[in-house]
Amino acid sequence: MTMEATRYEDGSISYPGHPRSREGTEPVGTVDLSEYTAEVVTWTTSTATPPGVREPNTLAIVEFDVDGEPVRAIGQVAADDVATGDEVRPVYVEELRESGAGIREPDSQAWDGYRFKPV
């Protein structure tokens, strides 16, 4: 499995990828963020979670440094404690949320992915 970000013609990288970059340029390649560590920008613990989501659900926005290009991602935290500035690494999880429990059509998207674990 990979945590695939998209690199664009203008040098920017985004996770998730889009058909065009913010500046409107085309994708030119991918970057596997699971090979990098990231720094926690901010985090929260949500106690009122929707159907099919673990409770409590600690989430973080993290920032990867891919050869000098910042790339942010959001995801669940694989630990009880986390703090702003912590270094984390992505760890693969087969099912982040029970597909079909919420309103979204289960076949419309993937349900596996990466949690962030403090290093």
Partner 1 sequence: MTARTQATDGQTDRVAVIGASMTQFGQREGEWILDLLAEAGLECLADAGVDASAVEHLYVSNMTSGEFEGMTGVMNALAHDLGAIPAYTQRVDQTSSSGGAGIYAAWQSIQSGASEMTLLVGGEKMTHATTGESTDIIASIGHPVEYKHGVTLPSFAGLTARHYLERFDVPRESLAKVAVKNHKNGVDNPNAQFQKEVDLETVLESPIIADPLRLYDFCPVTDGSAALLFCPESVAREYTDDYAVIAGVDGATDTHVVHEREDPTVMDGVVKSGNGVYEMSGYGPDDVDVAELHDMFSILEFLQMEGLGFAEQGEAWQLVEEGYTEKTGDLPVNTSGGLKSKGHPLGASGVAQGVEIYEQLVGEAGPRQVDAEVGLCCNVGGFGNCVITTIMEAAR
Q: Residues interacting with partner 1, by CB under 8 A? A: 14-16, 22, 41-54, 57, 59-61, 72-76, 84, 96-97, 102-104, 108-111, 113
Toward partner 1, which CB reaches closer, 31 or 73? Answer: 73
Toward partner 1, which CB reaches closer, 9 or 111? Answer: 111
Toward partner 1, which CB reaches closer, 47 or 68? Answer: 47
To partner 1, the closest distance from the beta carbon of 13 in angstroms equals 11
CB 51 within 8 A of CB 102: yes
To partner 1, the closest distance from the beta carbon of 76 in angstroms equals 5
Cα-flanking dihedrals φ and ψ of residue 60, to 5°? -140, 145
Q: What is the 3-state secondary structure (H, E, C) of 9-77?
A: CCCCEECCCCCCCCCCCCEEEEEEHHHCCEEEEEEEEECCCCCCCCCCEEEEEEEEEECCEEEEEEEEE
Toward partner 1, which CB reaches closer, 68 or 108? Answer: 108
CB 106 within 8 A of CB 100: yes
To partner 1, the closest distance from the beta carbon of 29 in angstroms equals 18
